[in-house]
Chains A and B, each alone.
Chain A
Amino acid sequence: MENNSMNRPSIKMSFSGSRTRYFFYLIVCLLFFSVPVGAQGKSTYSLKVIDKDLELPLEGVRVLDPSTGGVFLTDPEGIVKLPSLPALLVLSLPGYEEKRVRSKEWGDQNFLLVNLRLAGILEAEELVVETQAAGRSDAQPGVSVTAERELIKITGLSGVVEDAMNTVRILPGVIYAGRFNPFLSVRGGDPGGLAYHLDGALMKNPFHWGGTVSYFNPRLVESLKLSAGIFSVRNGQATSGLLEINTVIPDEGLKWEVGTSISTLDGYVQVPLDPENRSGLLAGARITNYDIVFALTGNFLEEGQGITFSRVPYIYNFYLKWFSRPDNRFQYHLNIFAGQDGIGLRTLDPDVDITIAIQNTFDFTWTNRDLFLSGGSRWLPGDRLSIHTTLGYEYWDTSADGGFTEKGTRTYSTEFVNAYGGLYGIQADDSFSLDLQSSFRDTTALHQFQARVDNFYTLTNQLTLEAGGGGYLSLYRFHPSGSIWNISYLPDNTPVYRKEAYTSGAENNNILVSFAYIGSTYDWVPDRFRLEGGLRVDHGYFWGKGDFNLNTLPVLGPRVIFQYTPLDGKPAPLTFSLGTGIFSKIPFDVLSITRDMGLKDYDIKTPKSYTTVAGVETYFGDGFRFKLEGYYKYLFDRFYSNFIPENETLTSRDLMLRFHNDGIGHSAGFDVLLDRRTSRYFDGMLSYSFNVARYKNPQTDGLDSASTGFGGPNDPRGRWYYPSFHRFHSLNLLTNYKPTTWLTLSTRLSFATGTPEPRYGEKEMFAAQVINQDNSTTIAEMYTRKSFYSDSLRGGWALPLDVKFSFHFYRKGSKVYHEFYLGAEDILSVWYTSLPGNGGPVTTDRYTGEDTLAPSAGFNFPVITFGFRASY
C-alpha cells in the first residue's frame, strides 16, 4: 500500500461513471481540506476592552498585532474579533496606558477581557503630556533621573535665589555643594565634568555671578533630566554627568505666569500663533535685584566685616522661544536667551586705625554677559526615519576686576624685636609702615558655534538604530593677569612676602571638538530584556596665537546598558539594570595651553572616565518608587597644572603654568532614591548618596607637594587624596504636606558630612622684606601657618532646613492660579555652625598672629523669603 504525505487513499478503486468519479473526488477534497481546518480548532477570538475604574466598555481602542502589522478597533461594546490567536497584541487608546497581551493569557479560551487604566493616576505618576519623541525620553533605570514641573516649582521657586539648580541639588548622585554653589560633583566626578544642555544644545556657561545662580528659570523649565549613569552615545563631552533642561513648549495656547519674591520679579507669556496651537511664542524676563535683601540683612553682613556694594548684585535676563509644528512630521524651535549680571563689592574695616594697625580693603567688580541662540528641528521623512538637527551660538563675555590694599602702621611686638631686632637693627617701640596694592583683571570672551545631526531609524518594532555627528567650535579670548602680594616659601621653606605676577600667553585659543556616533536600542524580548549600546568618537583640534595647532587622539567611547524587567506593568514594577561605558570631555583648562609649552600633536589626551553602574528600580504601593544604584568610575587622563616659580627673588617671583594630563582617580558609591509623586495629601522625596572618591595628580615638577597645587593644600601632588568637593554622605529629604486644599507645607532637610580640611602647621613668625608703592622698603612683622593636605581631617557637617508655607487658590470660576508663600532657609544654621568643629577654617591674621574662625564657605545663615505668583 502506498503511503504518501498527502494522505490520499491508496486503495485502488474503480469508478463506474464520471459523475460518480467527480462526486468521489469532491468528498476526498472536503475531507482533505477539512483536516487542517479541524486542526486549527477555534474559528475566531474575541477581545473585550473595558475601563478598569468605571468597568465600562471602551470604543475605538487600537489593537495592534506587531507580527503582521494588522490593526483592529474595538466597537461600541469594546469588542474586537480576531481571525487568529496572536503571540502579542498591543492595546492603546489616547489617555490610557498602553497594554500588551500575550497569547498565554488566553489559555484555552477564545474570549479575553482586558482592563485599560487611565494613563498616570493623577496623584501618582509622572506626567506624559505628549507622545515621547526620540531624544527626549523619560528617566531610565541605570541611566538617568528626571524632575518634572511640579518638583521644579516646589524646590526651585523658593529661597533667596529662585533657580532650577535647587532641584538638581537634591537628586540622587549629586554631592551636597552648599546653597550658592551650582558646580556640582555627580558621583564623585569633577564638577567640570558635568555638561549642560538646553533643549538639546550645549551651554558652556549657564551661570550668573560666576556660578552662584544658573540661567535656568524654574518657571520656564518643563522638566530636567540628570543622567549620571550610562547615557546614550548621542551625548558626550561629559565625564561625570549630563544635565538636560527642557523648556516649556509654547503649544498650549495662551498662558502666562508672573511672580515676585524677595529679590526677583519675573514672568512669561505664551501666545499661540496658530488657531490649532501648532505654533506659539514664549517670551519671558527676569529681574533680580538685592536692594531689599540687603536692606533687611545688611546689618548682619556688615557687622564686623564692613561690606558695602558699589553695585548691588543684579541679574537681568530675557528669554524668547518660538515653536512651530506645521504638520505631524516636522517641527522646529528657536531659543534666544540674553542675560547680564554683575556685582560690585567693597570691603573696608572702618574700626581700624591705620596709625596703629594695618587696614585691608578689597574692591571687586564682576560683569557677565551672555547671549545664547539655538534652534532645532525634528523631521519624519518616513514612518521609520527621524532626523533631528541642532544649531547653536553662544557669546559669553565676563570680566573680573579687583584690587586689595594693605595700608597702615604697626608697632613691632616684643617677640619680634627679640627675634629679629639684632639682625635688622629694630628696637622696642619701633614700627613699620605698609602701603601695598594687589590687583587682578581677568577677562574671558567666548564665541561658540555648534551643529549636530541625529538620525533615528526604526528597523523593526524591536530594533532602533541611531547615528549622527556634529561639532563645537569655541573661539576663546582669555586674558588673565594680576600681581598679588602673597606669603610663599623659598626652596629652603623660608617664608617670604612677595608680589606674584601671573599672566597667560594663551590669549586667543580656539578649539574645535567634533564627534560621531552610532548606536542601537534593541528590545530583545519586548517588555523584558532591553539592550542599548553604541560607540562614540570625539576629537579635539586646537589652534592659537603664534600659529600653533594641536590634535588630540580620537577618543573612543563605547557604551552598553542592559535592562531586565521580569514583571509586566506600566510603569514596570521591577527593573534591573547593568551598564558600562567610557565618557570623555575636553576641559576648560586647555584654554591656557600655549605654544611655549612645547606640546605636539597627540600629546594632549582627552580626560576620560570609565563608568560601570548596576541598579534596581521598583514601583509599589500608591505611587511610590524605590531606586538603588551602585557605581564605580575610573578617571584617567585628567588635566591638572602646577605653578612653577621663575625669576625668584626675596621680593618677587613669576609663576609659570605647566599642564599635565596624567591625573587619575577612582570613585565608587551608591545612590538611593525613595519618592512618591504628587499626591493630594502627602508626597516627597528622599535621596541619599554615599561616595568615596580618590584622585591622584602624579607630577610634582620637583616642588613641595604642600604648595605646588593650584587649588592649595586640598589639591596636592604625588599622592592620593580626597578632592576638595568630596563628601562621604549627602542626604536630602523633601516633604510636601497638604492638610487642606489651600495650604502646602514644604520642608527640605539636607544633611552632608564635611569636605576635606587641611592640617595647619605651627604658627610661624617671620620678617618680611617689603617694597611699598613709593619704593620705600621696610621690614614687616608677619605671621603664617603652613597648610598640608590631610586624609583624616574634615570640615563641619551641614544640616540646612528650609521651610515654606504656600497658600494657593483659584477664584470661583477662574483659571488663574494664585499663590503666596512665606519661607525660611537654613533655619538651623545658627545652631549647627556653632557646634565645635562645625565652623569655618581657622585663619591667622598675617600681621597680628591672631587666630580667628573664618565664615563657612557654604554661606550658612538663615534667610527669610516670601513671594507671590499668579499663573494662567
Chain B
Amino acid sequence: MDSTGGVTPYFIKLSYPPRFFYRPRWTFFIRGFLGALVFFLFALGSCASPPPAVLKDKEGFVKITPTPETRMRASISFGLTSAERTPPLGMRLIVENLKDSPLQVELFSTHLPAFLFRGILTFASDKEWVLQIDGVRIFDNWNNGWLEGEADAYGTLVGNLESPRTEPGQGLSQGTRWKGRLRDPLSLGEVKKGEVRYFDRYYRREEGQVRVEHRIRRLKALIQGTAGEKRMLGDYQLPEGKEGTTEQDSIRTAPALRAPLQKPPKDRREPEVEENPGLYVSIWNLDWFNARIQAEGVVLEEWN
C-alpha cells in the first residue's frame, strides 16, 4: 500500500531498488521508455483482446471476471478463483485506471446462481487483503419471465497469502495463491431496486421493488420451513446455533446444515419456486456456503 492508502497496481511496479536512482540518466530514460512501451503494449493488448479471466477454482465453479460495464474502461482486470475442493467461489477485480485503489469486486458462485455480490477489495498489506461486500445484484429467470433486483448485502472475506509471490510487491500476480476466510458471512439486506417480467407483464419501479422483496421473503419463508432439518454433509456438521432475533440472524446462524442444491427439489411445486429456481437455490445454499467457507476457508488462485 502506498502513502495515499491505495494500492499501486503491481504490474507497473518495477522492482527497482532505490539504487536505481543513482544510475546514469540515459539508462533511466531507456528503461522508462521500455517500461512505457511494455505498458502501452499491455494496455493495447488488454483493450484489443478479451480481458484475462480472473480468479477461479480448479473445477471452474467460482470465477472473478470484470463486470461488463467496466470491462470497456478497465485497463486491467484480475481475478481470484477457489482452487481446491471447496465451495466454488470467484471474485472479479476491476481496475479502472492504473492508480485505482481500492478495487471493485464482483463475487459469485455456481452455488449461488442468482446472486452477484459486489464489494471493495482493499490490500491491508502485501500478504493480506480484505473484501467488504456492500451490495448484490439478483437475477433469475424461467421460461415465462425474469426477476432482477439490486439489494444491500453484507459480508467480509479476508484473503491471506498462502504461496510465495511470484513477483514482489503488493497486489495480485499470476500463480499467487490466497487463503480466503469469511470474517462476516454473506447476507442480503434491503432491496433497493427491482423489476419483474411475468409473461408479458412488467412490474417496475416501486412495484417491482416490492415484488422482488416479497419474492425473496417468500422464498426465505418456504426455506425456513425446512431449516430445522439437520443433514450430514461429508465431514461437516455445524453445531446448533443460537436463535436469531431477525430473519437474517436465523439464516446466518441456522441451527442445521443443509446439503447444497443444484436445483430445487421436485416436490417443491410452489409457483415462487418454479418461477425463481435459481433464487431458491441461492437462498437455500447461502447458509451452507457461509458455513463451509467459515469452517474451511477457500484457496484462491489466479486464473487466466
Q: B-contacting residues of A (Cβ < 8 Å)?
A: 51, 53-54, 56, 93-96, 118-119, 122-123, 127, 129, 148-150, 153, 252, 678, 680, 740-742, 808-810, 812-815, 817
Contacts and interface: CB of A to CB of B under 8 A. Distances in A.
B204 A252 contact: yes
Contacts of B146: 810, 815
Nearest to B203: A129
Interface stretch (B18-26, B43-51, B79-87, B137-145): B137-145
Contacts of A741: 142-144, 274
A150 B209 contact: no
A149 B211 contact: no
Interface of B: 139, 141-146, 148, 197-204, 206-207, 209-211, 214, 217-218, 221, 271, 274
A129 B211 contact: no
Given A122-B271, A129-B207, A812-B141, A150 B214 contact: no
Contacts of B221: 54
Given A150-B201, A741-B274, A810 B209 contact: no
Contacts of A809: 143
B106 to A, nearest CB: 14
Contacts of A54: 214, 217-218, 221
A680 B274 contact: yes
Given A54-B217, A54-B218, A808-B144, A678 B201 contact: yes
Contacts of A122: 198, 201, 271
A477 to B, nearest CB: 42
Q: Across chains A and B, which 10 residue pairs bring their CB atoms closest together, nearest first?
A: A95-B210, A94-B206, A741-B143, A742-B143, A810-B141, A95-B207, A127-B201, A150-B200, A149-B200, A809-B143
Contacts of A123: 271
A95 B217 contact: no
Contacts of B209: 94-95
Given A94-B207, A817-B197, 13 more contacts: A53-B214, A95-B210, A122-B201, A127-B203, A129-B201, A129-B202, A129-B207, A149-B200, A741-B143, A741-B144, A809-B143, A810-B141, A815-B146
A261 B245 CA distance: 57
B202 A94 contact: no
A808 B144 CA distance: 7
Contacts of B141: 810, 812-815
A813 B201 CA distance: 19
Nearest to A276: B205
15 contacts: A51-B214, A53-B218, A54-B217, A54-B218, A93-B210, A95-B211, A118-B211, A118-B214, A129-B201, A129-B203, A129-B204, A252-B202, A678-B199, A741-B144, A814-B141
B132 to A, nearest CB: 26
A281 to B, nearest CB: 18
A627 B217 CA distance: 36
Given A54-B221, A678-B201, A813-B139, A94 B210 contact: yes
Nearest to A251: B204
Contacts of A93: 210
A327 to B, nearest CB: 16
Contacts of B274: 680, 741
Contacts of B202: 129, 252
A730 to B, nearest CB: 27
Nearest to B210: A95
A56 B210 contact: no
Nearest to B114: A813
B271 A680 contact: yes
B67 to A, nearest CB: 14
Contact of A149 (B144, B145, B201): B201
A96 B144 CA distance: 23
Contacts of A129: 201-204, 207
A741 B276 CA distance: 12
B142 A810 contact: yes
B199, B211, B271 interface centre (most CB from chain A within 10 Å):
B199
